[in-house]
Amino acid sequence: MKAQEKIQQRPRLTGASVGIPPRHLNFKMPDNKTKYLVTNNATATMFLVMLSAFFPPGERFFVESVRHFRSRAKDPALKAAIAGFIGQEAIHSREHERLNKFLTERGFDTTFPEKAVAGGLWLLEKLSPRQKLACTTVMEHFTALLSEALLEDEALASLFDPEFLSIWQWHALEELEHKAVAYDLQELVGNDKKLRLQASYFVAGALLPPVMISWLYLIAREGKLTDRKDLSTGLQLLLGKQGIVRRIIPKLPIYAARRFHPNKHDTTKLENTWREKLFGDQGSLLSSWRNQPEVDI
Ligand SMILES: [Fe+2]
Ligand SMILES: [Fe+2]
């Protein structure tokens, strides 16, 4: 057999074959009567409403910044990982749009935070393609740490509405599965500590104001800005000593370390555990998974 024929017969790698499968799921939306979806607390729920509203425009920015340099990747495994990354993020955007529609019908305003984050992203759009990719790797570092913290925190999970929780757990698992893809591409197009430090400041400067303004706006809209009990419970869950956001803050600066790579912080065991919990034989989302490997991937 000629070499050319052999190459043609070799199966093409896909996102799924390198551990980054874009999974299409039929999520059920929460149907409980409780107004707020995390321990009936407005402050914590509004934080998640804000994040969910941020994801569609944010993930489109991630995808575009990676797509710009996609042709630079020649290694088949990296090409497949990029395809998996783009597929997963595109589905995340779509499912968060569905969730945002549901949240809007429930009376929460997802338009305000979406517009606020679009303003921050508009500023980041002014940067060079290489800087935009670096901003994506900053945000991927943040989402990977947040995902790890969420998947590890059983006490917090027990406070969530179960359907609402499923969407976040699926998203968190996939963020860990593809956490190194944008960074591996950045290594290929030029990566250094100065670029990463600058990108960290750009992201903080552009996105912290929309975070604070949106969160405060959403809490105020619920009439909870003066509700001390709601505020202290919600802030404790997020920013208290064991709070999910507080726990990741000390890990954020490792991104600027000279020899940083996302995979140096090993989350393989956690990913395996959650792949089994969500998509294993008894997995809680197995029956909702439309493109299981034997069917479509
Ligand atoms: Fe995502
Ligand atoms: Fe991501």
- What is the whole-number distance in angstroms between the Cα of residue 155 and the centre of ligand 2? 24
Angstrom distance (rounded) from CA 230 to CA 269: 35
- Ligand 1 ion: Cβ-proximal residues, 5 Å cutoff: 89, 92
Q: Which amino acid is at 7?
A: I
Segments in 73-192 forming alpha helices (H)? 76-105, 111-125, 129-152, 154-157, 162-177, 181-189
User: b vs e for 170-195, b when ≥16 Cβ sit within 10 Å of the residue's Cβ?
Assistant: bbbbbbbbbbbbbbbbbeeeebeeeb
- What is the whole-number distance in angstroms between the Cα of residue 224 and the centre of ligand 2? 32
- What is the whole-number distance in angstroms between the Cα of residue 88 and the centre of ligand 2? 8
Residue 40 falls in which region: left (phi positive, over 0), alpha (psi -120 to 50) or beta: left
- Find the radius of gyration of the CA atoms of the chain: 20
- What is the whole-number distance in angstroms between the Cα of residue 32 and the centre of ligand 1? 26
**Domains defined for the chain, CATH in brackets:** 39-283 (1.20.1260)
- Nearest ligand, CA 23: 1
Show the tokens assigned to 168: 């976040």
- What is the whole-number distance in angstroms between the Cα of residue 226 and the centre of ligand 1? 33
Q: What is the pLDDT along the chain (297 residues), one digit of tens a residue?
A: 555 555 555 678 899 999 999 999 988 888 877 899 999 999 999 999 999 999 999 999 999 999 999 999 999 999 999 999 999 999 999 999 999 999 999 999 999 999 999 999 999 999 999 999 999 999 999 999 999 999 999 999 999 999 999 999 999 999 999 999 999 999 999 999 999 999 999 999 999 999 999 999 999 999 999 999 999 999 999 999 889 999 999 999 999 998 999 999 999 999 999 999 999 999 999 999 998 886 444
- What is the whole-number distance in angstroms between the Cα of residue 171 and the centre of ligand 1? 6
- What is the whole-number distance in angstroms between the Cα of residue 294 and the centre of ligand 2? 25
